[in-house]
Structure 1
Amino acid sequence: MSDGNKIIRMANQIATFFHSQPASEGPGGVATHINKFWEPRMRRQLFDLVDNHGGAGLDSLVLQAVPLIHRPAPAEVPPAAAARA
């Protein structure tokens, strides 16, 4: 399973839980969970899916939560890798 598919599956599982909660808690609850428990690499992958693929496959509740999720700084490229590029 690709990393993108894993991120979609995990984000949608969180949204599934919050669909059972009051609607007003949904987006904030999804964002709080992702902000607390997802490492920056995972959040970068989520934002890549949203920014470059329109969030295809993501539950609407995840998409509503995106503005509340902390966008991590871009990944640093190791100096050796940057020199080869």
Structure 2
Amino acid sequence: MTTDKIERLVRMANQIGDFYASMPEHERAAGAASHLRMYWTPKMIREIIAFADQGHPGLNPVAARAVQSLKETATPA
């Protein structure tokens, strides 16, 4: 995966996280994860999970929790 591509995914995930950050605490990560599940391709989700698993910084707190939620509910490839 290219650096440009992962930077785009991180930027998009952070924008989604920023949107859901204004929601009540218990809805933030779940809402962002639901949005990612609904609108992102499985490949995009796998790539952002792999990026987060490598410990790379850059995801805002809501986006990071959403990605963690996606990882926990992902079905093996």
TM-score (norm 2): 0.82
Uncovered stretches (5+) of structure 1, i.e. residues with no partner: 75-85
Percent of residue pairs bearing the same amino acid type: 32
Q: In the alignment, which residue of structure 2 is the partner of 1:63?
A: 64
C-alpha contact 2:49 2:68 (8 A) present in aligned 1? no
| Equivalent residue pairs, number | 73
Quick one: structure 1 residues 72 and 8, their matched pair in 2 at CA, closer, same or farther if it must change by over 3 Å?
farther
Q: In the alignment, which residue of structure 2 is the partner of 1:39?
A: 41
TM-score (norm 1): 0.75
Q: How big is the alpha-carbon RMSD for the aligned residues of Structure 1 and Structure 2?
A: 1.7
Deviations 1:39-76 (A, max 9, x none): 01110110111112x141001111112232143654xx
Larger CA Rg, structure 1 vs 2: 1
Uncovered stretches (5+) of structure 2, i.e. residues with no partner: none
- Matching residue's letter, 2:74: R
C-alpha contact 1:4 1:45 (8 A) present in aligned 2? yes
- Matching residue's letter, 1:22: P
Please identify runs of 4+ aligned residues in structure 1 that moved more than 4 A. none
